[in-house]
Amino acid sequence: MLTNLEDIYTFEKQHNHLLTPSFVTVSTDIINSRDDIINQLVDNINYINELNKQLKRILTSCNKAQLEDMKILDDVLRKTGKKISNVVNPDTVPKSPVVVVPTIINRPVIKQQVVYITSSLCINATIINDINEANDMGKVYYLSSMEHFIIRIENLLLHGNIGVIYTDEKIPEKIKDCKFAGKCTRGSSCDYYHDPFIYKNSKDKRNFIASSWLYNPSNYRTLNRRFGCIRNIDKDINNITKEEISRFKDQLTHDLLWGLLIQKVYSIGN
């Protein structure tokens, strides 16, 4: 088999006399010899085609594995705030071999404080010991004494956590404000929610029932949302209760924190 260029050139030299027509001196020997080298060349080309096919197959696997691993590496780096360049889109696997070298951009690592809300998930927040330290608009704080996240937006002060969303528990805990308005003596064992802004030393976290996100303006008995539709806001604004305001704000805090967590993990839109 002709497997390298040197052999091919030698072969060409050796059979040079057969590579041009003989015209008047044609003989059966020449025809037969040429037939032989035609067969040899065809065999070689088939062999090289097979080599090409097998090498391309291995290269495709190799490229695919490289892209998958780089996607994972890129995700990890995104989560840690770093970027990777030259990541090839897996939908456009290059036809010719391309060596993709990950380039990590060196940036100063800003040590941001984080609050772990599960063993592996955390929310970036500036940890403070006093509510008066939470002055910047839109910044996420974590008031350690209260164990609540704090976010100011204009004159709206949001505080809370990502709570439990009950779907079928018979006795959901801490979904409603305690009716004793700061005078309940049961502390954290009370089934109702003790807002730390009302109950000093409380570290309660507000929970929710799933249907409290359901907009149902005609139902006054449940914890559904009776308000929020733009078509009725002018009228509704006068009928909302203190309990509903409190719950909406805490739902907003829950959703906002959940949104920040999704953003942190998936970097949506970045």
Beta strands in 38-153 (DSSP E): 84-85, 103-104, 114-116, 122-124, 126-128, 140-143, 148-153
Q: How far is the CB of 103 from Zn ion (least distance, A)?
A: 57
Q: How far is the CB of 227 from Zn ion (least distance, A)?
A: 26
Q: Which of 233, 235, 236, 210 is nearest to 223 (CA)?
A: 210
The dihedral region occupied by 81, where left means phi > 0, alpha psi between -120 and 50, and beta the remainder, is left
Whole-number minimum distance, CB 189 to Zn ion, in Å? Answer: 9
Q: CA-CA distance, 227 to 230, in Å (whole number)? A: 9
Number of residues lying near Zn ion (CB under 5 A): 4
C-beta closer to Zn ion: residue 206 or 225: 206
198 binds Zn ion (CB under 5 A): no
Closest CB 196 distance from Zn ion, rounded Å: 13
Q: Measured between alpha carbons, how far is 19 from 59 in angstroms, rounded to an integer?
A: 36
State in angstroms the smallest separation of the CB of 242 from Zn ion: 16
Q: What's the sign of the alpha-carbon dihedral 42, 48, 50, 56? A: negative
Rounded-to-integer distance, Cα 158 and Cα 252, Å: 8
Q: Which is nearer to Zn ion, 53 or 186 (CB)?
A: 186
CB 178 within 8 A of CB 193: yes
- CA distances (Å), 213 to each of 41, 163, 204, in order? 75, 13, 21
Taking the least distance from each CB to Zn ion, the nearer of 94 and 187 is 187
Q: Which of 194, 226 has the CB closer to Zn ion?
A: 194
Residues 155-194 that bind Zn ion (CB under 5 A): 178, 184, 190, 192
158 vs 178, beta carbon nearer Zn ion: 178
The contact set with Zn ion (CB under 5 A) reads: 178, 184, 190, 192
